[in-house]
Amino acid sequence: MLKIAFHPIYTHPLPKGHRFPMEKYDLLPAQLLHEGTCAEENFFEPDFPEIAHVLAVHNSVYVEGLQSLSIGKKMARRIGFPLSKQLIDREFILAQGTIKACDYAMKYGIAMNIAGGTHHAFSHKGEAFCLLNDQAIGARYVQFSSFPEKKIIT
């Protein structure tokens, strides 16, 4: 069964005229439901990840700076979003969506995250609308998890 991570927090409010198309995160699941490609049971709502999963990829000083909203203005400007607690919560929940999608992919062969793919983030800084690198977090999670049903697809 296809499982898809989606959380209402994925659509984060941005200032009027902001160039990032945040509304796509509401439109994608709505379209999948509308056209019958997916049903409600395909979607799951992630929560916060274990911090160890994030720290397996990201520098602890950077992660603490995000959580306390204390990263420098220059670093925040490179991210491209106005920083807020809700945005930071969004990023952590998004990362957990990818982690959980990894679990579902190992079980069912496929899974996805509506807002996943935040691959521009580095271990010590965010960039290009990406605060955490959910792809690296998910990959590291799979790398160090023991899945008895782990399959190598050739």
Over residues 59-106, the pLDDT tens digits come to 999 999 999 999 988 888 898 878 899 989 999 999 999 999 999 999
Mean pLDDT, the chain, integer: 90
- Residue 152 in any domain: the answer is no
Burial string for 9-30 (b: 16+ CB within 10 Å, else e) reads bbbbebeeeeeeebeebeeebe
- pLDDT category, 146, cuts 50, 70, 90? low
Number of domains in the chain: 1
Q: Which CATH number characterizes residue 45's domain?
A: 3.40.800.20
Q: What is the pLDDT of residue 81?
A: 78
Instruction: State the residue range of the domain holding 126.
Output: 3-10+20-144
What pLDDT does residue 34 have?
96
Judging by beta carbons within 10 Å of its beta carbon (0-12, 13-18, 19+), is residue 106 exposed, middle or buried? Answer: middle
Q: Inform me whether the pLDDT recorded for 154 exceeds 70.
A: no
111-138 pLDDT, tens digit per residue, is: 999 999 888 988 888 888 888 999 999 9
Per-residue confidence (pLDDT) for residue 147, from 0 to 100: 60
Q: What is the token pair recorded at 131?
A: 């605060």
Q: Is residue 73 part of a domain?
A: yes
Q: Which residues contact 82 (CB under 8 A, 6 or more apart)?
A: 14, 15
pTM for this prediction? 0.88
Distance between CA atoms of 139 and 106, rounded to whole angstroms? 12
Place of tokens 């580095």: 122
Contacts of 145 (CB under 8 A, 6+ apart): 102
| Amino acid 152: pLDDT | 46
Q: Is residue 151 part of a domain?
A: no
Cα separation, 91 vs 83, whole angstroms: 11
